[in-house]
Structure 1
């Protein structure tokens, strides 16, 4: 019906059309219910509410997996800090910059961004404990220089960033937590490097094209959830475990959930040394060498993922490092879906490889047939004033 026809229509018809229009708006409970069915358990916790800006900190109650709930990051004593300046000084950060927020403010800090910005870090950004970096509402790129490092940190949320083109860095000094100067050795050029840290949640970031890897969890780190991220155009994607000789990583527990891998990812989605990974409800859009790999007696439960093999090349999902002394591997696939000829070679032993989550960590695993929907909004979200 054209506008002039609408204006000339009898008032009962106008009333009926008005009611129909109201029922079709996104804010109605009917449509909200439909869209919630397409969201994973993390997103459903906070994205369904309008005016998300008014309750940003609700995000901390929505994490699942080994990070548990991040409620230590909110509540009494929280400082709200807004990044207004995209510049960086590794030793003398100015107020308004990202480095100032993550190093100079003591206690709990929730960091947001005033506007879209591109930040080129001079040296790795050492993130303090009880810090949330919340990129929602702005397009924030950390690119072209150093990137993020969590070093002996706990209770950290990294959400909504676009991290790419990270470069290796030589040794040097940098401002660290509590405003202390830290002497750093060389770093390889990872997007996010987690070292000797615990209770870390990395959610809804877009990561790609870094000189080394995208996420490293190493040197005794544990209690980590990597969720809702979009990984693309990268050789080495996720490394869990420092090296074959670092036995402390036997205690490492990491949840990898609701992520989208591809296009252009080659290997390590993840690669696991020593520890345990619950890899669940992820979408794999092909791979180069392999998707999930390991060495040094790792345990991996692959559950309800969607593996879409590349058109040509290796169709096998898994890879295991061979060793003349022999290694044991616990690789188990449960409820996964394999397309385009993908295959998963399981190992014997290890039983069901239960994650043994506690009450705060556990969540209901979705059917692998819904993974396309559950990962459709992976990566940094484009948020309006009222919705995300």
Structure 2
């Protein structure tokens, strides 16, 4: 009898190990990182996304062109084959972009990424730095994964090629790392972003169905803006998932700042903030769930800020968050569910797991032939 009980306990132990997250990977990373052949099956990544972006199935399949960046140079008007701009902007059709080796790319003008494009930096140490940032303008089905984007600077207006091949005068960007304008179904995953002149990520002018996951944001003032301005009512339809990211150290505000729309902020690590962590205006809805907020000083313990002061009728809910060093979240209104469909839905983890779930946030160091 004792032997049977031992076997039963052993079976339950093995079953528990197979069904629980023993490695600390989050639901996105579990989908692909343990596969030693990830480099031979890069498009598997497209079915690993969760949240409002949903699955990125339109970015995979036999019709997708595999394009490798071999040249770190940049000509904003006549990009050469082999450069990032040629693959992301000029090359027709659905494109999956990889990099031959590690490289530093200084963009002379914003990189306009076309629809149905995946920029996949896994397996290479790729830095976009010292110049312009990435622009998603009226596009859809875009993945940006595995890049270091830092020290972006504002650019004077200049000629630049845009999707479709036309060359036009582009107004100067403010120095954002990544900006979305009127774009939908976008997944920003496992990037490392810091020290840009303006924001690290802006989702604006009616952009929606966006997932921001597994990124590391640090050494920056205004981190993430969701919503163009107070007068842009089209952003009421904006839906953004912010999951498994690490904010800090040395971040001040906008993690995120939301106007009008809805943000599901879930299982992120907040390693201190200066002004505030989550802010908003124009009555946005926020569901903060299973995050860990670690206040960094005696004068900045409050997680939230409503602009202007008030917002008593806004729906801002904190569910299962963890608060350390005296951090606190001022709740108002009611809890508003994200109402994910089956392709978007995922189970939020406990805040106690957040350090494990975000331990590999940012661009990963991966080698072909072994798990990442």
Q: Shorter-normalised TM-score: what interval? A: over 0.9
1:43-58 residue pairs with structure 2 within 5 A? 43-58=29-44
What is the match of residue 325 of structure 2?
340
Tell me, in whole angstroms, the C-alpha distance in 1 between the residues paired with 2:314 and 2:201: 23
Higher mean Cα deviation, 100-109 or 152-161? Answer: 100-109
The residue matched to 1:177 in structure 2 has which SS?
A: coil
State the TM-score, normalized to the length of structure 1.
0.89
Alignment of 1:96-135 (within 5 A): 96-135=82-121
Using a 3 Å threshold, how does the CA distance of structure 1 residues 32 and 166 change in structure 2: closer, same or farther?
A: farther
Aligned 8 A contact 1:202 1:226 in 2: yes
Identify the residue that residue 136 of structure 1 maps to in structure 2.
Answer: 122
**For residues 80-107 of structure 1, what are the alpha-carbon distances to aligned partners after superposition, in whole Å with 9 as ceiling and x for unaligned?**
0000000000000001000000112111
Structure 1's 304 and 31: CA in aligned 2 closer, same or farther, altered over 3 A? closer
* 1:325-361 per-position Cα deviation (integer Å, ceiling 9, x unaligned): x7742211000000010011111x2x32100000100
SS of 1:371's equivalent?
Answer: helix
Query: Are 2:353 and 1:367 aligned?
Result: no
Q: For 1:1-388, list aligned pairs within 5 A.
A: 37-322=23-308, 328-347=313-332, 349=333, 351-385=334-368, 386-388=370-372
In structure 2, distance between residues paired with 1:362 and 1:182: 40
In 2, Cα distance between equivalents of 1:306 and 1:210: 25
Could you list the runs of 4 or more consecutive aligned residues of structure 1 that deviate by over 3 angstroms after TM superposition?
Answer: 29-37
Q: Could you tell me how far apart the structure 2 residues matched to 1:173 and 1:322 are?
A: 39
Instruction: Say whether the 8 Å CA contact 1:297–1:327 is kept in structure 2.
Output: no
Between the aligned partners of 2:66 and 2:18, the Cα distance in structure 1 is 30
Contact 2:194/2:220, CA 8 A, preserved across alignment = yes
Shift of 1:169: 1.2
Determine the C-alpha separation between the residues in 2 that align with 1:43 and 1:116.
22
In the alignment, is the contact (CA less than 8 A) between 1:259 and 1:282 conserved in 2?
yes
On the 8 A contact 1:200/1:224 being kept in 2, the answer is yes
Any idea what the Cα deviations from partners look like across 1:135-174, whole Å, max 9, x if unmatched?
0000000000001000001000000000000001122221
In the TM superposition, what is the alpha-carbon distance from 1:183 to its structure 2 partner?
2.4
Larger deviation, residues 287-296 vs 102-111: 102-111
TM-score for both structures, normalised by structure 2: 0.93
Q: Deviations over 1:236-274 (max 9, x none)?
A: 000000000000000000000000000001000000000
Partner of residue 4, structure 1: none
For structure 1, which runs of at least 5 residues remain unmatched after alignment? Answer: 1-28
Conserved? CA contact 1:36–1:48, under 8 Å? no
Which secondary structure state, in structure 2, belongs to the residue aligned with residue 59 of structure 1?
A: helix
Deviations 1:179-232 (A, max 9, x none): 221321121100000000000000000000000010000000000000000000
> Structure 2: where are the runs of 5+ without partners?
1-14
Would you say how many aligned residue pairs link Structure 1 and Structure 2?
357
